[in-house]
Amino acid sequence: MSCSVNLREISYKNDEKEIFKNINLNLGHEEKIAIIGSNGSGKSTLLKIIAGLINPSEGYVEIFHSKINNLKEFKTYRNDIAYLPQDVTNHFLCPTVIEDVIFSLRAKGVSKEEALIQGNEILEELKITHLKDRIIFDLSGGEQKIVALAGLLILKPKILLLDEPTNALDEQSEKRIIEILNSIKKSMIIVSHHRSFIESLTSTVYRLDEEFTKL
């Protein structure tokens, strides 16, 4: 099977305790999987390891079958992996929606004109063109999540890592996120407590508690 991500015997300990150990996982090409588990079981920590933000204590991550030995080596895959944190309020760098959505393209040296074309396309795709010139901090939690997602998708990543994408959203915003994620053909790992949300999106669910098990 062609895989986007493989986890090989991943363990993580912080100063105080062992959070999880010996996690193995294969995420196939354009496969969508979910991770559930109780509070503090380490789901966000695992996502951050896969995103290349923190090192595992033991084991390693493979991205497109290449072993990653340290965080520096993740650099090669920075554009391929997009990580949506649980709390997006500190995620934004610009005041308005369109400025923020095109920020990463501009940082890569894309001209303003071209970045705006691509930015407008992504807003249209996610059906949030009406938010284009709004101040991000005036938006609702659900709108902010979709704007943050737009800012990730503009770089055309191959792998999406989503931490509680429907956390604290009302039913309508949740439905919108499901629609969007269902329409995206990419490899995805979604951490969520929402069973109905997960079941409408993913074929495989893992539980992280004492053990890491496929349900």
Closer residue to ligand ATP in complex, CB, 176/194: 194
85 binds ligand ATP (CB under 6 A): no
Looking at the Cβ atoms of 44 and 120, the one nearer to ligand ATP is 44
Task: Tell me whether strands 204-208 and 212-214 are parallel, antiparallel or unpaired.
Answer: antiparallel
Q: Does 42 bind ligand ATP (CB under 6 A)?
A: yes
Residue 45 touching ligand ATP (CB under 6 A): yes
Contact between 40 and ligand ATP (CB under 6 A)?
yes
For residues 97 and 160, which CB has a smaller minimum distance to ligand ATP in the complex? 160
CB of 27 to ligand ATP, least distance (A): 18
> What residues make contact with ligand ATP under the rule CB under 6 A?
14, 19, 37, 39-45
